[in-house]
Amino acid sequence: MSQNKNEVLYRVYIVLGLLVIFAGFIFYNAVKINVLEGEEWRKAGEKDHIKPHVVKASRGNIITEDGALMASSLPFFDIYFDSTRPSKELWTDANLDSLVVGLMPFLIDDFEMTDYAFRIFYRDSLIRARNVRQQYMRIKKGVSYADYEQIKQLPIFRKGQMSGGFIAEEKFKRDRPYGMLARRTLGYAQSDKDRFVGLEGFFHKELGGSDGKEIKVYKAANRITVPVQDLNSIKPRSGDDIVTTIDVNIQDVVQKALLRGMEHHDAQTGTVIVMEVKTGKIRAMSNIGKTPRGWYEDYNYAIGTKVEPGSTFKLASMMALLEDGYIDLGDSIDLEQGLHTFYEEEMRDASFHQLDSTTIRKAFEISSNVGIAKLVQKYYGDTDDAPKYIQHLRDFRLDQLVGIEINGEDKPYIKEAYNSDDNWSGISLPWMSIGYEVELTPLQLLTFYNAVANNGRMMKPFLVTQVQHFGEAIKTFKPTVIKKQIAKPETIQKVKELLEGVVETGTAKKLKTNRYKFAGKTGTAQINYYKFDQRDNIKYRASFAGYFPAEDPVYSCIVVITEPRKNGRYGSEVAGPIFRQIADKCFIQQKDLYPKENEQIEKLTKKQLPQLDVGYRKDVDKILKKLQLKHTDSGVKNWAVLTADTDTLHIAPRYISRDLVPNVVGMGLRDALYVLENLGLKVTFEGSGKVVQQSLRGGTKIRGQRINLKLR
């Protein structure tokens, strides 16, 4: 028993001895590090580590041709203070008190204390930072440009970084003055996530500019990073601006009309595009989808989603038949009261019309599926002729991408005749003729309709006219002809008559107006048309494609609404009214769409009157009174612009904002200098007379830039 007890004690003594030795080792190293080598380690901890730092460039603006700002990068600043920089002569009680009082309006909301308490507290904070030689004291984050300009002029800070310790780190955030307008068309660019959408994504390189470089010193002791001035620093190059074809007024009209239509019909998705007929400029593009968050522009259906177009595709079938000379519009066709069987598959007309024999013109105007399909099957149904029909579709470029400046355009689908890989069958040809078993995006189909409106000349749709840097064009994109003539002139003329007939006496006759004429085609496609055993669950896609005014088309437009759940399902009930609303608003807003009376007299009169002269209101009054010119007035108080209207001048306001670069085109040099320099812009000019061009577009965010004026 005694022997076991001694053995246990020996083991305890051994363990205790090891613990003492281990504790001694720790104590020795602690003394060594803190006393013997302490100074050396402290110096190493305080050693500065120089690190290069990327300075992000300001992203370029997206603007419209008339100068409206659609997307811009607004600067904001994180402000810090290096308390070691101010000299003893600068660090006086008077300067310190003035600095605290100057900072109070910007910081007081961050502290729950009275003005007096804040002054005492913040003065002590600055003194404490000075005593401990703090090099990166945070003053405030997220400061606007206007506040930054005021803060940097405060005592001590106004001496800059090296002498006054004022450190400002510039950052940018993307702002869209028009909110959700054209949201998906404008898009976004996220380099870190490799996501590039819309114009922001397609022109990311141009808009992004070139990042700069500055040297920062990392303080290991307190783990802060301080920027320093260095001759090797590289300033960032701000991004270029892009000028879009979007017309803000038309875009607003389109978006509101589409949203009203979506709500009225409780639809799933909807898209509208408005294109300028002669040039291919996209004047508006809106996409709305029903999401758990409500109505939202979550995807660009106009470009990224190809679908079976339905009856709007019948225009291509009619053009093919006319091109080959197989038919004339007055020829007869038996509609069989809207029911015909192709290879044991029934085809029905959308509405019960009880017509047997009628003209081809009438068959198109009432959108008869049976009539169009029977014609195509009759003339192209043989093995040798089906490829001929497909080739016409290719000649109309319905199988080609349009090449719009947005990533993600969906490739159209046109079957190859008798190709088993395309699931060609006996019913493929008649069903293709009425817009099934083919797939197109809304933009691709509109490009085809736009070519018809343009007398057969197919234009490339485009969204950007220029890339600019500080107002100077560095790249220009002009209208591009894809194909000079997609069909014979006589074919184009006949199908234009058909499209007008649809509105005058056909499926869209309830939409016509006496104020102007428009032309187009309704379309109603069954989305799940193969599931006829579930007819109660059939979903629809309603569309309308056309142009206005019919006599001399200015705009083409397509409306596509998917899955309307109430208040109608056909193109004439759902999409057509939206088209009509858009056309109506365009006519109200743009007088150029109306035919002009006495146009020559108007031109002569306008040449004799001042036009777009800009000046101070009182000066304008004196001149008009002296010249005894008739004029009207809309209550202008400060800056005015003269516009000529027949034989009368109108005084309209020229608005000046404190935050945005104004439009000074039309001003004399004296007025332009007064306005621009009071806004903090640095002005240079060349020439004499009135301002005809400015390097910064009106609506650009003011950041103390330099602006160059050209006078003539």
Kindly report, residue by residue over 435-474, the tens digit of the pLDDT: 999 999 999 999 999 999 999 999 999 999 999 988 889 9
What is the spatial distance between Cα 57 and Cα 191, in angstroms, rounded to a whole number? 14
- Domain boundary, last residue among 527, 562, 593: 593
Q: Which two tokens stand for residue 400?
A: 């080609």
pTM of the complete model beyond 0.85: no
Closest of 326, 301, 439, 427 to residue 373, by C-alpha: 427
Within a domain: 519: yes
Same domain, 586 and 447: yes
Average pLDDT, the chain: 85
Given a cut of 50, is residue 249 above it in pLDDT? yes
pLDDT digit string, tens, across residues 596-605 = 544 443 443 4
Q: Which two tokens stand for residue 145?
A: 């440009």
Same domain, 221 and 139: yes
Q: Which two tokens stand for residue 608?
A: 């004799």
Given a cut of 90, is residue 110 above it in pLDDT? no
Same domain, 23 and 123: no
Residue 549, preceding bond cis, omega within 30 degrees? yes
**Percentage of the chain surpassing pLDDT 70?**
81
Given a cut of 80, is residue 653 above it in pLDDT? no
Q: Which residue has the higher pLDDT, 628 or 22?
A: 22
Same domain, 559 and 606: no
Domain housing 24: 2-46
Q: What is the mean pLDDT of residues 418-434?
A: 94
Same domain, 354 and 235: no
Contact 357, 333 (CB under 8 A): yes
Same domain, 385 and 299: yes
Q: What is the pLDDT of residue 428?
A: 95
SS3 of 301-357: the string is: HHHHCCECCHHHHHHHHHHHHHHCCCCCCCCEEECHHHEEEECCEEEECCCCCCCCE
Q: Which residue has the higher pLDDT, 376 or 706?
A: 376
Taking each continuous run of H as one helix and of E as one strand, the counts in the chain are 22, 31
User: CATH number for the domain including 448?
Assistant: 3.40.710.10
Q: What is the pLDDT of residue 601?
A: 37
Within a domain: 198: no
What is the spatial distance between Cα 609 and Cα 234, in angstroms, rounded to a whole number? 52
Closest of 350, 381, 390, 376 to residue 529, by C-alpha: 350
Within a domain: 194: no
Within a domain: 203: no
Q: What is the mean pLDDT of residues 153-174?
A: 90
- pLDDT band, very low/low/confident/very high, at 405 (cuts 50, 70, 90): very high
pLDDT digit string, tens, across residues 191-245 = 767 788 889 999 999 998 887 776 655 454 444 555 555 555 677 788 899 999 9
Closest of 216, 214, 215, 221 to residue 47, by C-alpha: 221
Same domain, 160 and 57: yes
Same domain, 470 and 327: yes
Same domain, 267 and 385: yes
Q: Which residue has the higher pLDDT, 655 or 324?
A: 324
User: CATH number for the domain including 119?
Assistant: 3.90.1310
Backbone angles phi, psi at 563, to 5 degrees: 55, 55
Total structural domains in the chain? Answer: 4
What is the spatial distance between Cα 509 and Cα 501, in angstroms, rounded to a whole number? 9
Within a domain: 199: no
Given a cut of 90, is residue 344 above it in pLDDT? no
Q: CA angle at residue 306 from 302 to 309, to 5 degrees?
A: 95
Same domain, 611 and 668: yes
Same domain, 65 and 164: yes
pLDDT digit string, tens, across residues 201-214 = 999 999 988 877 76
Which residue matches tokens 């803000």? Answer: 248
Same domain, 356 and 300: yes
Give me the DSSP letters along 105-152.
HHHGGGS-S-HHHHHHHHHHHHHHHHHTT-S-EEEEEEEEHHHHHHHT
Q: What is the pLDDT of residue 598?
A: 46
H runs (alpha helix) in 399-534: 428-433, 442-453, 489-504
Bridging pattern class, strands 332-334 and 357-359: antiparallel
Within a domain: 157: yes
Within a domain: 254: yes
Contact 564, 390 (CB under 8 A): no
- Domain boundary, last residue among 593, 624, 641: 593
What is the residue type of 155? P
Q: Is 617 exposed, middle or buried (0-12, 13-18, 19+ CB in 10 A)?
A: middle
Within a domain: 457: yes
Q: What is the pLDDT of residue 265?
A: 97
Question: Which residues lie closer than 8 Å to 588 by C-beta, 6 or more apart?
Answer: none
Maximum Cα–Cα distance across the chain: 133
Q: What is the mean pLDDT of residues 668-683?
A: 81
Give me the DSSP letters along 63-104.
EETT--EEEEEEEEEEEEE-TTSS-TTT--HHHHHHHHHHHH
